[in-house]
Amino acid sequence: MLPGTAGSLAVEEVDDPQPGPGELLVDGLAVGVCGTDKEIAGGEYGWAPPGRRRLVLGHESLGRVRQAPDGSGFETGDLVVGVVRRPDPVPCGACAHGAFDMCRNGRYTERGIKQLDGYASGSWCLAPDFAVRLSPDLGNAGVLVEPTSVVAKAWDEIERIGSRSWFEPERVLVTGAGPIGLLAAMLGRQRGLEVHVLDQVRNGPKPGLVADLGATYHCDGFDAAVAGGRPDVVIEATGVAPLVVAAMANTASYGIVCLTGVSTPGRSVSVDAGGLNRSIVLENDVVFGSVNANLRHYGLAADALAAADPAWLARLVSRRVPLESFAEAFESRDGDVKVVLDLQ
Ligand SMILES: [Zn+2]
Ligand SMILES: [Zn+2]
Protein backbone atom coordinates (compact mmCIF):
# COMPACT_ATOMS: atom_id res chain seq x y z
CA MET A 1 0.00 0.00 0.00
CA LEU A 2 1.33 3.44 -0.96
CA PRO A 3 -0.26 5.88 1.51
CA GLY A 4 -1.92 8.76 -0.30
CA THR A 5 -2.44 6.67 -3.45
CA ALA A 6 -5.90 5.16 -3.80
CA GLY A 7 -5.96 1.75 -5.46
CA SER A 8 -2.38 0.88 -4.49
CA LEU A 9 -3.40 -1.89 -2.09
CA ALA A 10 -1.65 -5.13 -3.10
CA VAL A 11 -0.32 -8.40 -1.70
CA GLU A 12 3.45 -8.49 -2.21
CA GLU A 13 6.39 -10.69 -1.27
CA VAL A 14 8.61 -8.88 1.19
CA ASP A 15 11.74 -9.97 3.04
CA ASP A 16 11.15 -12.06 6.16
CA PRO A 17 11.26 -9.86 9.21
CA GLN A 18 14.36 -10.21 11.39
CA PRO A 19 13.59 -9.85 15.09
CA GLY A 20 15.73 -7.27 16.86
CA PRO A 21 17.28 -7.93 20.30
CA GLY A 22 14.63 -9.16 22.70
CA GLU A 23 11.86 -9.16 20.08
CA LEU A 24 9.30 -11.88 19.42
CA LEU A 25 8.87 -13.39 15.97
CA VAL A 26 5.16 -13.96 15.41
CA ASP A 27 3.22 -15.82 12.70
CA GLY A 28 0.32 -13.61 11.62
CA LEU A 29 -3.05 -15.39 11.84
CA ALA A 30 -5.55 -12.66 10.98
CA VAL A 31 -6.17 -8.93 10.86
CA GLY A 32 -9.46 -7.13 11.28
CA VAL A 33 -10.42 -4.51 8.71
CA CYS A 34 -12.06 -1.28 9.88
CA GLY A 35 -12.92 2.19 8.65
CA THR A 36 -9.36 3.38 9.25
CA ASP A 37 -8.00 0.67 6.92
CA LYS A 38 -10.54 1.64 4.27
CA GLU A 39 -9.50 5.30 4.56
CA ILE A 40 -5.85 4.33 4.16
CA ALA A 41 -6.69 2.06 1.21
CA GLY A 42 -8.63 4.96 -0.30
CA GLY A 43 -5.52 7.16 -0.14
CA GLU A 44 -7.08 9.52 2.41
CA TYR A 45 -5.00 8.64 5.46
CA GLY A 46 -1.84 6.84 6.55
CA TRP A 47 1.90 7.51 6.46
CA ALA A 48 4.72 5.26 5.21
CA PRO A 49 7.78 4.71 7.41
CA PRO A 50 10.39 7.48 6.99
CA GLY A 51 12.40 7.11 3.80
CA ARG A 52 9.96 4.60 2.26
CA ARG A 53 6.87 4.83 0.08
CA ARG A 54 5.19 1.59 1.13
CA LEU A 55 3.24 0.85 4.31
CA VAL A 56 2.16 -2.65 5.39
CA LEU A 57 -1.45 -2.30 6.51
CA GLY A 58 -3.16 -3.93 9.50
CA HIS A 59 -3.57 -2.75 13.08
CA GLU A 60 -6.19 -5.21 14.44
CA SER A 61 -3.79 -8.10 14.87
CA LEU A 62 -3.78 -11.72 15.94
CA GLY A 63 -0.76 -13.98 15.80
CA ARG A 64 1.03 -16.96 17.30
CA VAL A 65 4.56 -16.67 18.68
CA ARG A 66 7.04 -18.64 16.57
CA GLN A 67 10.16 -17.60 18.44
CA ALA A 68 10.53 -15.90 21.82
CA PRO A 69 13.85 -14.94 23.44
CA ASP A 70 14.55 -16.27 26.94
CA GLY A 71 13.29 -13.90 29.59
CA SER A 72 10.76 -12.27 27.26
CA GLY A 73 7.86 -13.68 29.28
CA PHE A 74 6.46 -15.30 26.12
CA GLU A 75 6.74 -18.81 24.72
CA THR A 76 6.49 -20.42 21.31
CA GLY A 77 2.83 -21.09 20.58
CA ASP A 78 1.42 -18.20 22.64
CA LEU A 79 -1.56 -16.47 21.07
CA VAL A 80 -0.74 -12.75 20.98
CA VAL A 81 -1.98 -9.37 19.85
CA GLY A 82 0.33 -6.45 19.10
CA VAL A 83 -0.43 -2.99 20.48
CA VAL A 84 -1.00 -0.41 17.71
CA ARG A 85 0.59 2.76 19.06
CA ARG A 86 4.19 3.44 20.10
CA PRO A 87 5.24 6.37 22.30
CA ASP A 88 6.64 9.45 20.65
CA PRO A 89 10.48 9.75 20.70
CA VAL A 90 10.65 12.90 22.84
CA PRO A 91 8.76 11.49 24.84
CA CYS A 92 5.97 13.72 26.07
CA GLY A 93 4.90 13.35 29.70
CA ALA A 94 2.00 11.06 28.88
CA CYS A 95 4.12 8.74 26.71
CA ALA A 96 6.85 8.74 29.38
CA HIS A 97 4.25 7.35 31.78
CA GLY A 98 2.95 4.61 29.46
CA ALA A 99 -0.12 6.68 28.56
CA PHE A 100 0.80 6.81 24.88
CA ASP A 101 -2.90 6.72 24.00
CA MET A 102 -3.00 10.23 25.49
CA CYS A 103 0.13 11.51 23.65
CA ARG A 104 0.36 15.28 23.82
CA ASN A 105 2.64 16.15 20.92
CA GLY A 106 1.14 13.93 18.20
CA ARG A 107 4.55 12.47 17.29
CA TYR A 108 3.53 8.92 18.27
CA THR A 109 3.70 6.22 15.60
CA GLU A 110 1.16 3.47 14.88
CA ARG A 111 1.61 0.07 13.28
CA GLY A 112 -0.30 -0.18 10.04
CA ILE A 113 -1.34 3.48 10.17
CA LYS A 114 1.43 5.95 10.91
CA GLN A 115 5.09 5.36 9.97
CA LEU A 116 5.33 1.74 11.16
CA ASP A 117 4.47 -1.36 9.16
CA GLY A 118 1.33 -3.12 10.29
CA TYR A 119 0.40 -6.68 11.06
CA ALA A 120 -1.14 -7.81 7.75
CA SER A 121 1.72 -10.15 6.88
CA GLY A 122 2.59 -13.81 7.30
CA SER A 123 5.02 -12.97 10.08
CA TRP A 124 5.94 -9.91 12.09
CA CYS A 125 8.22 -8.86 14.92
CA LEU A 126 7.07 -7.42 18.18
CA ALA A 127 8.75 -6.07 21.31
CA PRO A 128 7.38 -7.96 24.33
CA ASP A 129 6.44 -4.63 25.96
CA PHE A 130 3.85 -4.17 23.23
CA ALA A 131 2.57 -7.75 23.12
CA VAL A 132 -0.55 -9.01 24.86
CA ARG A 133 -0.86 -12.72 25.58
CA LEU A 134 -4.37 -14.12 25.14
CA SER A 135 -6.07 -17.14 26.62
CA PRO A 136 -5.77 -19.94 24.04
CA ASP A 137 -9.54 -20.45 24.42
CA LEU A 138 -10.15 -17.10 22.74
CA GLY A 139 -8.96 -18.51 19.39
CA ASN A 140 -10.04 -16.51 16.34
CA ALA A 141 -11.97 -14.03 18.49
CA GLY A 142 -8.58 -12.69 19.57
CA VAL A 143 -8.67 -10.46 16.48
CA LEU A 144 -11.34 -8.45 18.35
CA VAL A 145 -8.91 -7.43 21.12
CA GLU A 146 -7.81 -4.20 19.41
CA PRO A 147 -11.33 -2.82 18.76
CA THR A 148 -12.32 -4.00 22.26
CA SER A 149 -9.33 -2.13 23.73
CA VAL A 150 -10.85 1.10 22.39
CA VAL A 151 -14.13 0.53 24.27
CA ALA A 152 -12.35 -0.87 27.34
CA LYS A 153 -10.57 2.47 27.52
CA ALA A 154 -13.87 4.34 26.99
CA TRP A 155 -15.52 2.45 29.88
CA ASP A 156 -12.47 2.91 32.10
CA GLU A 157 -12.60 6.67 31.47
CA ILE A 158 -16.37 6.79 32.06
CA GLU A 159 -15.91 5.10 35.43
CA ARG A 160 -13.04 7.40 36.41
CA ILE A 161 -15.05 10.48 35.46
CA GLY A 162 -18.14 9.14 37.24
CA SER A 163 -16.17 8.45 40.40
CA ARG A 164 -15.63 12.18 40.98
CA SER A 165 -18.93 11.98 42.91
CA TRP A 166 -21.57 9.39 43.73
CA PHE A 167 -22.04 7.27 40.61
CA GLU A 168 -24.31 4.30 40.15
CA PRO A 169 -25.38 4.44 36.52
CA GLU A 170 -28.32 2.33 35.38
CA ARG A 171 -29.12 3.12 31.77
CA VAL A 172 -26.67 3.27 28.87
CA LEU A 173 -27.26 4.33 25.28
CA VAL A 174 -24.85 3.27 22.56
CA THR A 175 -25.29 5.01 19.20
CA GLY A 176 -24.13 2.85 16.30
CA ALA A 177 -24.18 -0.95 16.12
CA GLY A 178 -20.92 -1.47 14.28
CA PRO A 179 -18.15 -3.47 15.98
CA ILE A 180 -17.24 -0.59 18.32
CA GLY A 181 -20.87 0.02 19.34
CA LEU A 182 -21.60 -3.68 19.81
CA LEU A 183 -18.46 -4.22 21.87
CA ALA A 184 -19.26 -1.12 23.95
CA ALA A 185 -22.73 -2.59 24.55
CA MET A 186 -21.19 -5.93 25.51
CA LEU A 187 -19.00 -4.24 28.13
CA GLY A 188 -22.06 -2.35 29.42
CA ARG A 189 -23.95 -5.62 29.85
CA GLN A 190 -20.92 -7.18 31.58
CA ARG A 191 -21.32 -4.34 34.13
CA GLY A 192 -24.95 -5.34 34.69
CA LEU A 193 -26.34 -2.15 33.12
CA GLU A 194 -29.52 -1.61 31.08
CA VAL A 195 -28.16 -1.10 27.58
CA HIS A 196 -29.91 0.44 24.58
CA VAL A 197 -28.34 0.43 21.13
CA LEU A 198 -29.43 2.76 18.33
CA ASP A 199 -28.70 2.08 14.67
CA GLN A 200 -30.39 2.66 11.31
CA VAL A 201 -30.81 -0.84 9.94
CA ARG A 202 -33.85 -3.03 10.53
CA ASN A 203 -32.44 -6.24 9.07
CA GLY A 204 -29.21 -8.17 9.08
CA PRO A 205 -27.29 -9.46 12.10
CA LYS A 206 -27.25 -6.31 14.28
CA PRO A 207 -30.72 -6.51 15.92
CA GLY A 208 -30.11 -10.14 16.88
CA LEU A 209 -26.60 -9.46 18.18
CA VAL A 210 -27.97 -6.68 20.40
CA ALA A 211 -30.90 -8.78 21.64
CA ASP A 212 -28.61 -11.70 22.46
CA LEU A 213 -26.54 -9.44 24.71
CA GLY A 214 -29.70 -8.79 26.71
CA ALA A 215 -29.76 -5.23 25.39
CA THR A 216 -32.54 -3.36 23.55
CA TYR A 217 -32.22 -2.53 19.85
CA HIS A 218 -33.67 0.72 18.46
CA CYS A 219 -33.94 1.79 14.82
CA ASP A 220 -36.57 4.55 14.88
CA GLY A 221 -34.32 7.50 15.64
CA PHE A 222 -32.79 9.08 18.69
CA ASP A 223 -35.96 10.36 20.37
CA ALA A 224 -37.59 6.94 20.32
CA ALA A 225 -34.43 5.36 21.73
CA VAL A 226 -34.52 7.60 24.83
CA ALA A 227 -38.33 7.67 25.20
CA GLY A 228 -38.14 5.12 28.01
CA GLY A 229 -35.77 7.30 30.03
CA ARG A 230 -32.70 9.44 29.59
CA PRO A 231 -29.39 7.57 29.74
CA ASP A 232 -26.82 8.05 32.50
CA VAL A 233 -24.08 7.15 30.01
CA VAL A 234 -23.94 7.58 26.25
CA ILE A 235 -21.24 6.04 24.10
CA GLU A 236 -21.44 7.71 20.71
CA ALA A 237 -19.91 5.50 18.03
CA THR A 238 -21.15 7.01 14.76
CA GLY A 239 -19.63 10.49 14.51
CA VAL A 240 -22.91 11.58 12.87
CA ALA A 241 -23.22 15.25 13.90
CA PRO A 242 -26.96 15.37 14.76
CA LEU A 243 -26.57 12.25 16.91
CA VAL A 244 -23.56 13.74 18.69
CA VAL A 245 -25.58 16.86 19.54
CA ALA A 246 -28.64 14.83 20.57
CA ALA A 247 -26.47 12.70 22.86
CA MET A 248 -25.00 15.75 24.59
CA ALA A 249 -28.44 17.30 25.11
CA ASN A 250 -30.34 14.24 26.37
CA THR A 251 -28.47 12.64 29.23
CA ALA A 252 -29.87 12.15 32.70
CA SER A 253 -28.49 14.48 35.37
CA TYR A 254 -24.75 13.84 36.02
CA GLY A 255 -24.69 12.27 32.57
CA ILE A 256 -21.50 11.25 30.82
CA VAL A 257 -21.17 11.28 27.04
CA CYS A 258 -18.18 9.52 25.53
CA LEU A 259 -17.53 10.44 21.91
CA THR A 260 -15.66 7.75 19.96
CA GLY A 261 -16.85 8.36 16.38
CA VAL A 262 -14.69 10.45 14.08
CA SER A 263 -16.85 12.86 12.10
CA THR A 264 -16.27 14.24 8.65
CA PRO A 265 -15.54 17.94 9.10
CA GLY A 266 -17.47 20.60 7.24
CA ARG A 267 -21.00 19.47 8.02
CA SER A 268 -23.05 22.05 9.91
CA VAL A 269 -26.00 21.39 12.12
CA SER A 270 -28.05 24.04 13.86
CA VAL A 271 -27.54 23.84 17.63
CA ASP A 272 -29.08 25.80 20.50
CA ALA A 273 -25.65 26.31 22.05
CA GLY A 274 -27.07 28.26 24.99
CA GLY A 275 -29.60 25.55 25.81
CA LEU A 276 -26.95 22.86 25.44
CA ASN A 277 -24.51 24.70 27.69
CA ARG A 278 -27.27 25.29 30.24
CA SER A 279 -28.18 21.59 30.45
CA ILE A 280 -24.53 20.50 30.72
CA VAL A 281 -23.81 23.02 33.49
CA LEU A 282 -27.01 22.54 35.48
CA GLU A 283 -26.71 18.74 35.37
CA ASN A 284 -22.96 18.50 36.04
CA ASP A 285 -22.70 16.59 32.75
CA VAL A 286 -19.43 15.59 31.12
CA VAL A 287 -18.77 15.22 27.41
CA PHE A 288 -15.40 13.76 26.47
CA GLY A 289 -13.60 12.24 23.52
CA SER A 290 -11.72 8.95 23.57
CA VAL A 291 -9.46 7.27 21.04
CA ASN A 292 -6.84 4.53 20.92
CA ALA A 293 -5.72 2.49 23.95
CA ASN A 294 -2.64 1.74 26.02
CA LEU A 295 -1.27 -1.60 27.17
CA ARG A 296 -3.49 -1.68 30.28
CA HIS A 297 -6.62 -1.28 28.13
CA TYR A 298 -5.53 -4.21 25.96
CA GLY A 299 -5.38 -6.33 29.11
CA LEU A 300 -8.89 -5.19 30.09
CA ALA A 301 -10.07 -6.01 26.56
CA ALA A 302 -8.58 -9.51 26.63
CA ASP A 303 -10.31 -10.13 29.98
CA ALA A 304 -13.67 -8.84 28.70
CA LEU A 305 -13.50 -11.06 25.62
CA ALA A 306 -12.51 -14.08 27.72
CA ALA A 307 -15.66 -13.49 29.81
CA ALA A 308 -17.94 -13.12 26.75
CA ASP A 309 -20.03 -15.75 24.99
CA PRO A 310 -17.73 -17.33 22.34
CA ALA A 311 -20.68 -18.00 20.00
CA TRP A 312 -21.69 -14.32 20.13
CA LEU A 313 -18.11 -13.22 19.41
CA ALA A 314 -17.95 -15.62 16.47
CA ARG A 315 -21.09 -14.00 15.01
CA LEU A 316 -19.54 -10.54 15.39
CA VAL A 317 -16.95 -11.64 12.84
CA SER A 318 -19.45 -11.76 9.99
CA ARG A 319 -17.05 -12.44 7.12
CA ARG A 320 -13.56 -13.99 6.82
CA VAL A 321 -11.65 -13.35 3.62
CA PRO A 322 -8.51 -15.24 2.52
CA LEU A 323 -5.49 -13.02 1.87
CA GLU A 324 -5.47 -13.66 -1.89
CA SER A 325 -9.01 -12.17 -2.13
CA PHE A 326 -8.02 -9.18 0.04
CA ALA A 327 -9.97 -6.64 -2.05
CA GLU A 328 -13.23 -8.29 -0.94
CA ALA A 329 -12.41 -7.47 2.67
CA PHE A 330 -12.40 -3.77 1.77
CA GLU A 331 -15.86 -3.88 0.16
CA SER A 332 -18.89 -3.05 2.25
CA ARG A 333 -21.53 -5.74 1.98
CA ASP A 334 -24.98 -6.20 3.47
CA GLY A 335 -24.76 -7.99 6.77
CA ASP A 336 -21.16 -6.97 7.47
CA VAL A 337 -20.23 -6.39 11.07
CA LYS A 338 -16.51 -7.15 11.47
CA VAL A 339 -14.66 -8.40 8.41
CA VAL A 340 -11.40 -10.26 8.97
CA LEU A 341 -8.56 -11.08 6.61
CA ASP A 342 -7.12 -14.57 7.13
CA LEU A 343 -3.34 -14.54 6.80
CA GLN A 344 -2.61 -18.28 6.89
ZN1 LIG B 1 -9.43 -0.50 13.48
ZN1 LIG C 1 3.67 11.45 23.49
- Structural domain contains residue 6: no
Residues 158 and 101 reside in one and the same domain: no
Q: What is the mean pLDDT of residues 198-223?
A: 97
Among the ranges given (179-183, 200-204, 212-216, 262-266), the one the predictor scored with the smallest mean pLDDT: 262-266
Whole-number Å distance between alpha carbons of 34 and 47: 17
Taking the CA of 85 as reference, the closest ligand is: 2
Domain that residue 76 falls in: 24-133+309-342
Residues 97 and 155 reside in one and the same domain: no
**Ligand 1 center to residue 297 CA distance, Å?**
15
pLDDT at site 263: 85
- Structural domain contains residue 8: no
- Structural domain contains residue 298: no
Q: What is the mean pLDDT of residues 275-290?
A: 97
Residues 111 and 65 reside in one and the same domain: yes
**Ligand 1 center to residue 36 CA distance, Å?**
6
Closest CA to 277 of 253, 251, 248, 235: 248
Peptide bond into 265 cis (omega under 30): no
**Ligand 1 center to residue 266 CA distance, Å?**
23
Question: Residue 123 sits in a domain of what CATH number?
Answer: 3.90.180.10
Residues 53 and 90 reside in one and the same domain: yes
Whole-number Å distance between alpha carbons of 271 and 175: 19
- Structural domain contains residue 10: no
**Ligand 2 center to residue 80 CA distance, Å?**
25
Residues with Cβ within 8 Å of residue 241, at least 6 apart in sequence? 263, 267, 268, 269
Taking the CA of 151 as reference, the closest ligand is: 1
Residues 88 and 217 reside in one and the same domain: no
pLDDT band at residue 156 under the 50/70/90 scheme: very high
Taking the CA of 148 as reference, the closest ligand is: 1
pLDDT tens string 303-344 = 999 999 999 999 999 999 999 999 999 999 999 999 999 998
The residues whose Cβ lies within 5 A of ligand 1, an ion, are 34, 36, 60
**Ligand 2 center to residue 103 CA distance, Å?**
4
Query: For the chain, what is the domain count?
Result: 2
Sign for the CA dihedral angle at 156, 162, 164, 166 comes to negative
Question: Residue 216 sits in a domain of what CATH number?
Answer: 3.40.50.720
Residues 157 and 266 reside in one and the same domain: yes
- Structural domain contains residue 3: no
**Ligand 1 center to residue 138 CA distance, Å?**
19
Q: Helices 179-190 and 295-306 meet at what angle, rounded to 10?
A: 70
Per the DSSP assignment, residues forming a β-bridge with 65 are 26
Taking the CA of 104 as reference, the closest ligand is: 2
**Ligand 1 center to residue 290 CA distance, Å?**
14
Percentage of the residues of the chain whose pLDDT score is greater than 90: 95
pLDDT tens string 243-278 = 999 999 999 999 999 999 988 888 888 999 999 999
Taking the CA of 95 as reference, the closest ligand is: 2
Whole-number Å distance between alpha carbons of 319 and 335: 9
Percentage of the residues of the chain whose pLDDT score is greater than 70: 100
Whole-number Å distance between alpha carbons of 344 and 62: 11
**Ligand 1 center to residue 243 CA distance, Å?**
22
Q: For the chain, what is the mean pLDDT?
A: 96
- Structural domain contains residue 294: no
pLDDT band at residue 1 under the 50/70/90 scheme: confident
- Structural domain contains residue 203: yes
Residues with Cβ within 8 Å of residue 335, at least 6 apart in sequence? 204, 205, 318, 319
**Ligand 2 center to residue 165 CA distance, Å?**
30
Taking the CA of 94 as reference, the closest ligand is: 2
Q: What is the mean pLDDT of residues 205-209?
A: 97
pLDDT at site 97: 97
**Ligand 2 center to residue 102 CA distance, Å?**
7
Residues 109 and 230 reside in one and the same domain: no
**Ligand 2 center to residue 115 CA distance, Å?**
15
User: What single DSSP character describes residue 43?
Assistant: T
Cα separation values, 319 from 25, 61, 179, Å: 27, 16, 13
pLDDT at site 268: 87
**Ligand 1 center to residue 274 CA distance, Å?**
36
Residues 195 and 239 reside in one and the same domain: yes
**Ligand 2 center to residue 108 CA distance, Å?**
6
Residues 122 and 165 reside in one and the same domain: no
Residues 126 and 251 reside in one and the same domain: no
pLDDT at site 265: 84
pLDDT at site 266: 85
pLDDT tens string 21-73 = 999 999 999 999 999 999 999 999 999 999 999 999 999 999 999 999 999 99
For residue 113, the SS3 value is: coil
Per the DSSP assignment, residues forming a β-bridge with 197 are 174, 217
- Structural domain contains residue 301: no
Cα separation values, 176 from 216, 260, 336, Å: 13, 10, 14
Residues 234 and 331 reside in one and the same domain: no
**Ligand 1 center to residue 32 CA distance, Å?**
7
Residue 109 phi/psi, 5-degree rounding, is -120, 160
Residues 176 and 98 reside in one and the same domain: no
Closest CA to 101 of 326, 285, 294: 294
Whole-number Å distance between alpha carbons of 172 and 174: 7
Taking the CA of 100 as reference, the closest ligand is: 2
Closest CA to 176 of 118, 254, 235: 235
**Ligand 1 center to residue 113 CA distance, Å?**
10
